[in-house]
Structure 1
Amino acid sequence: MRKDTVLRGSLAAALMGFCILTVTSGEARRVHDPDTTTKVRTERGAEVEEKPDFRMRIDALIKEAEKANAVAAEKPLFSVPQTLSEYDTAIIGTPLASQEQCVDYLLSVNPYPAISVTPRELVAYYYEEGAREGIRPDVAFAQALKETGFFRYGGTVTPDQNNYCGLGTTSATVKGAYFATSQIGVRAHIQHLLAYASTREPMQPVVDPRYSLVRNVYGTNTLGHWQDLNGRWAVPGDSYGQSILSMFRAILHK
């Protein structure tokens, strides 16, 4: 019995040793619990209340680290040339037109586009997906306007497909690809442009059903300019790329 008592006393003392901090300044003692407010009693008998700021500091550091990681993740892992002129015909580049200009131009021609999201949301998807892959989003949106007739459709593709560029529509009787959401449809469009313009794989998993087909055909070759899509994206499409660029300039001057 005595041995058990001594053993229990030793264990209790050891545990207390982990929990009690000896504070040299003022010779104070307290139980350290960062989640609760504690009181420190000094030898002079005064009690000092401490606030639980330790956990707050840790949380703040974690949030800062997460924010830094998010910013780093958004930065492209490749170089994208800055687009400086409306007469630059490159597929890869940065936008010149604002999102607001894209929305205004669409609504000036068709106030009631047949799309599953708002015009502002659709344009935002083009800018998000385009920036991720280095594809000029304002010109890609102009291509969508051309392909869908300003989202009036009326051809083989129907609005419920979320297919904004005629992907897989190889004839008047083939409706082409269906996409579950508007953003996935935009992503497929941007990835299809990337398939022509670069040998680099997309940053997101491939949703373009014809991405591999294009890459297998072109191998190490690429098409760098919108007019290079003539007779390739659209057949015969003699001035297909030029008409897209013309529509883009109309957006820019809206």
Structure 2
Amino acid sequence: MRYVGLVFLSAFLALGLASHVQAESLERAGGMREPGEILGGPRHSKAKVERYARSMDSTRYIMRTIPIYYKMAPRRNIAPDVLIAQAMVETGYGRYTGDSKPWNMAGIKKGGDVGDEPRDFEKPPTARAGVRMHINHMAAYTGKKPIGKPHDRFYDARAAQKDRGYWIRNIGQLGGGIWATDTSYDDKIRNILYGMSRA
């Protein structure tokens, strides 16, 4: 009887260890990404991101897009919380104090040779179109396929990144003229992500 009990206990412990190892592998494979990584699952839940956005008095332009990012970005394995943090930087929490206008979530310009005038920026008609454009623009830099027919600037960004010889994987790679010329661009995104973690 004692032998049967030991066999049963050994089998139970082995099964528990196997499921723990499997759960850890799944978490590493598709779950929690490393801080600073762009690809992978979100580190912050949609509810946490919404709490943070409200605490920063984000406008409806941010608030309406959060669920859309969480629905669409995982289709390309791009972290929705990173894109939302980037959109907060680019739009001033949805206040649009720069040259781009509502529903352009990342200051994306039209294709070809354009300047910095308001007319040079894309003008998506809806929140969903703006989020899809942002995801597709990040897809251009990360080597991912676009969702649907991409905006014209997608092709310019994809070609430029291919010429650089590598795909973007980390927030720190977005500055230096690749996505933005601002040398503190990645720090601004990281600070927002940190704020999300505390919400």
Residue in 1 aligned with 2:46? 99
The 2-side partners of 1:165 and 1:245 are apart by 16
Q: How many residues were matched structurally?
A: 165
Is 1:201 the counterpart of 2:163? The answer is no
Write the letter of the residue equivalent to 2:43.
L
Larger helix proportion of the pair: 2
The 2-side partners of 1:81 and 1:211 are apart by 28
> How far 1:154 sits from its partner (Å)?
2.0
- Counterpart contact for 1:177–1:209, Cα < 8 Å: no
Q: C-alpha root-mean-square deviation of aligned residues, in Å?
A: 2.2
Q: Give the 5 Å matches for 1:204-243.
A: 204-219=147-162, 221-231=166-176, 232-235=178-181, 237-243=182-188
Write the letter of the residue equivalent to 2:75.
R
> How far 1:206 sits from its partner (Å)?
2.8
The 2-side partners of 1:147 and 1:186 are apart by 13
- Listed as ranges, the gaps of 5+ residues in structure 1 are 1-79
> How far 1:171 sits from its partner (Å)?
4.8
Q: Could you state the TM-score of these two structures normalised by the residue count of structure 2?
A: 0.75
Residue in 2 aligned with 1:138? 81
The 2-side partners of 1:197 and 1:152 are apart by 27
Q: Which is higher, the Rg of structure 1 or of structure 2?
A: 1
Give CA deviations for 1:74-94 in whole Å, capped at 9, x if unaligned: xxxxxx943536x52111110
- Counterpart contact for 1:227–1:239, Cα < 8 Å: no
Write the letter of the residue equivalent to 2:128.
Q
The 2-side partners of 1:127 and 1:239 are apart by 26
Q: Could you state the TM-score of these two structures normalised by the residue count of structure 1?
A: 0.59
CA shift in 2, pair 1:223/1:123, >3 Å: same
Q: Which of the pair has the greater relative contact order for Cα pairs under 8 Å at 6+ separation?
A: 2
After TM superposition, what 4+ stretches of structure 1 lie above 4 angstroms from structure 2? 169-172
- Counterpart contact for 1:168–1:174, Cα < 8 Å: no
The 2-side partners of 1:247 and 1:141 are apart by 9
Write the letter of the residue equivalent to 1:91.
I
Among residues 163, 178, 187, which one is paired with 2:104 in the alignment?
A: 163
- Please give the secondary structure, in 1, of the residue aligned with 2:54: helix
- Please give the secondary structure, in 2, of the residue aligned with 1:151: coil
Seq. identity, %: 27
Give CA deviations for 1:145-176 in whole Å, capped at 9, x if unaligned: 111101111221222xx101000076542340
- Listed as ranges, the gaps of 5+ residues in structure 2 are 1-27
The 2-side partners of 1:168 and 1:243 are apart by 21
The 2-side partners of 1:216 and 1:103 are apart by 35
- Counterpart contact for 2:66–2:84, Cα < 8 Å: yes
